[in-house]
Amino acid sequence: MKVRKFFTVGSIVFILSFLLLFFGVKVMLDQDVTGQNILAYAILSIIFGGISGAAYILRMKATFFIFLAGLIIGFTMMYTQFSKDMDGWGDLTGLMSLFFAAGIGLIAGVVVQGILHLVRKK
């Protein structure tokens, strides 16, 4: 049952992340998407899905929700950077914003989960 939940949650996050990355580059940046790009989007989306699925099945609710909030903030920041006219720097700053927000969300989620674990233990 846990494996099924892992793949369900991971697949949902994977599909949404992949589609948001593809849409951002193809439509917002109006750039051609190659096979190498698709592979990179898939790998990044698998990582996001794997982290989400693992946090979900391990019952780390704080980590799960804070990481998802980080992803939402990251994609929002990425689209904001994509929409600005930055003479070619919008794509780089947008993706860096996504990575930064997702990383902060993961770290904050693990820290909050650790604090909650310590509080419950006492």
Hey, what are 98's tokens?
Answer: 């996504």
What pLDDT sits at residue 11?
95
What pLDDT sits at residue 86?
72
65: amino acid identity, one letter: F
What pLDDT sits at residue 42?
96
Question: Quick one: CA dihedral 118, 53, 19, 38, positive or negative?
Answer: positive
Residue 2: pLDDT over 90 = no
The DSSP output letter for 28 is: I
Helix locations, the chain, DSSP H:
2-23, 35-57, 61-83, 90-121
pTM for this predicted structure: 0.90
In whole angstroms, give the CA distance from residue 8 to residue 3: 9
Identify which has the larger pLDDT, 106 or 25.
106
pLDDT tens for residues 106-120?
A: 999 999 999 999 999
pLDDT tens for residues 45-103?
A: 999 999 999 999 999 999 999 999 999 999 999 999 988 877 778 888 999 999 999 99
CB 41, CB 102: distance < 8 Å: no
Residue 122: pLDDT over 90 = no
Residue range 9-36: mean pLDDT, rounded: 92
